[in-house]
Amino acid sequence: MENQRIKVSDQRPVSPSGDSITTGMAVGMLTTFVHLVSRLLLVPLILHFVPMAHYGLWTICFVILSYAGMSAFGIQNAYIKYVAKYWSLGDRNAINILISTGLTVMGIASLLIYFTISLGVPLILGLFHVEKQMHALAGFMIRGTAAAFLLEIWLGAFKASLEGLQKITLTRLNWLFATLSEIVLIFIFFMMGYGIHGVVFAYIIKTIFEMGLHLIFAFRHIPSLSLRPMLNRQAFNALFVYGGKVQGLGILGLFLGTFDRLVITAMIGLEATALIEIGRKLPFTARRISGAAFAPYLPAASSQDHYFEKGKWPTTMEKMRKYSALFTIGLIIAAWGMVPWGGSVLQDAFQQGKFFSTPWGWLLAGAVLFSVYPGISLVKWAYRFVRHGETLCSDTIRDLYLSGSGQINLINGIIYGYLIAAAPQLLFAWVGPEGTKAYTITIIIAAATVIHLTTGIGTAILKGVDRTGRELEYTLIQLALALVWIPGFAAYGGLMGAVWGTALSLIIPSVFFVWRGNVFFQVSFSLYVKKNIRPCLAPVSAAVLIAALLGLMPPLSRWFTLLEVMIAGLFYLLMTAVFLKLWIFTDDEWQKIISPLGKIKAKFLPRVMP
């Protein structure tokens, strides 16, 4: 790396006028929680009024649309980043050009996708083996949901622009209000006898209503907003080059999120797939709630002035060499991990003199040689690469990274600490006796997920400062580990082997990302431990106490177990608060934490004393 500075902007940034980050985090998590609960309640409502086959058609519609939705994932992030950047620099015309170009291109793309889906309906019906008597209904549902979904993709520019202004609270409340309105509309249409048609009508109305709210508020908060059909090359590159990088990461993440189930289904069977789906459901639901807290950090980082030291913009070949080296390092680590497993399998064969008569023998020998060369030299390169890599210079963004990581790690520590402590009881209350078979899976996946979530704030900020390649680096390591460990461990250890392969392929890249991120943000190891790991000792201590107490409780019915976990959860939160106050926070820090509670009380509760 050349020892030089890369200056991002010479203009003086304008302070954003959006919500505070803490408010955005809290509202994002709360609205996501309410949304998830409403979705859970919606399923039995629909099944009460429509046949199971009609509900199956509804789910098929969104399987199809999930692939269409991948076309806009990165574009929404690009809107957020560049609107935040241009707004902070006071360049209102650039915002107009960006949004106009995005609406023009995505409008054309949405029309093409809609006509492709519409013309492909007969093929889709054949692919999913839909019965002939349901073809007319299925065609209506697919075309209707596609039209609404693609309208959301097209007009999503207004929601993303508001988020770029850090109006996270506004967009989340608009979204929640529209979603709850959809449930009311579904019930009304059911009462009127519309059946599954009413569900489609409600979804279309909800989408139009939500997009209309975002459009109105976008013009209100950006008074100079002026739109017209256009195609600007600079705006196109900003949206689709940057957006394409984020898009690629999203697709890769989608593959990694489903690879374990594909392997388990193919190698072990559907029963094992169902068990891991039950085991990972609670950790992944919690991940969606806490993941909503990351949204404010992308626009917040985009709006801050910064520069880079000890770095240069790499060429395409340099990037390819770097990514290839990191993927190879992932394979080397995977080989190290397979050595003890392969050694155990071949112990008897070695004693009988049949070491090289099985494929495992050759694979083990190859893994050992690969670990030595090029393994050792590549690992040394990786150490130098991280320790002497590019650094970001901005006290504001550094503080944003530290405070945000500390807050989200404590939140996740509290959520997942209780989830791990009460996993057997939670699964029994949710699924019944069959669920308790998955509690070990839940504990392992929850532990891996809470470590993986330590990357969330860093990835959001890196998107804001246009360093998406850092996320690709650790994702490639994860890909290499997953491709080897999940099927490899499953072949030897069955379902639990696959679970451990999934967990370890999450943990190791996450640790690498945090290490590299701390160097990039110029945060020392001791400071990171103090701000991020030390506070988590409080929920961990409370979780150990709760696990011990729940272990002493006699078996109960599902309803009484549900009551038990609710009481235990309240006690857990109380003990966590006590431990935080006694061991972790100073008096000033504690007052800052509880001060929002006093404001809420003063605002919503009547005063008892004059």
Per-residue confidence (pLDDT) for residue 228, from 0 to 100: 92
* Percentage above 70 pLDDT, the chain: 88
Give me the pLDDT at residue 597, please. Answer: 57
End-to-end CA distance of the chain: 67
* Mean pLDDT value across residues 2-15: 44
- For residue 351, name the pLDDT band (cuts at 50, 70, 90): low
The closest alpha carbon to 427, from 246, 565, 220, belongs to 565
In order, the DSSP letters of 425-445 are HHHHHHH-GGGGGGHHHHHHH
Structure tokens at 306: 């910064």
pLDDT at residue 584 is higher than 60? yes
Q: How confident is the model at residue 486 (pLDDT cuts 50, 70, 90)?
A: very high
**What pTM value is reported for the model?**
0.83
**Are 125 and 139 within 8 A, CB to CB?**
yes
Average pLDDT of the chain, as a whole number: 85
Looking at per-residue pLDDT, the higher value among 149 and 52 belongs to 149
Residue 68 has pLDDT above 80, yes or no: no
pLDDT tens sequence across 106-118: 999 999 989 999 9
Confidence of residue 585 (pLDDT cuts 50, 70, 90): confident
Question: What does the pLDDT average to over 55-73?
Answer: 73
11-33, pLDDT tens digit by residue?
Answer: 444 444 455 677 888 888 888 88
| pLDDT value at residue 344 | 62
pLDDT digits (tens, 9 = 90+) for 155-191: 999 999 999 998 999 999 999 999 999 999 999 999 9
Mean pLDDT of 348-363: 62
Q: What are the backbone dihedrals phi and psi of residue 308, each rounded to the nearest 5 degrees, phi first?
A: -115, 145
Residues 6+ apart with CB under 8 A from 343: 364
Q: What is the pLDDT of residue 248?
A: 82
Query: What is the distance between the alpha carbons of residues 396 and 304, in angstroms, rounded to a whole number?
Result: 7
Instruction: Kindly state the percentage of the chain with pLDDT values over 90.
Output: 48
Q: Give SS3 for 307.
A: strand
DSSP assignment of 43-103 equals: HHHHHHHS-HHHHHHHHHHHHHHHHHHTTTHHHHHHHHHHHHHHHHTT-HHHHHHHHHHHH
Give the model's confidence band at 493: pLDDT under 50 very low, under 70 low, under 90 confident, else very high.
confident
Distance CA 283, CA 200 (A): 30
| Residue 361 CB neighbours (<10 A) | 17
Mean pLDDT within 382-411: 90
CA 196 to CA 543: how far, in whole Å? 44
pLDDT > 70? residue 608: no
Q: H-helix or E-strand containing 391?
A: strand 391-393
Mean pLDDT, residues 54-69 taken together? 77
pLDDT digits (tens, 9 = 90+) for 72-114: 667 888 999 999 999 988 999 999 999 999 999 999 999 998 9
**Structure confidence at residue 3 as a pLDDT band (50, 70, 90):** very low
pLDDT tier, 395 (very low <50, low <70, confident <90, very high otherwise): very high
Average pLDDT of the residues in 231-255: 84
pLDDT score at 33: 87
- The C-alpha atoms of residue 61 and residue 137 are separated, in whole angstroms, by 12
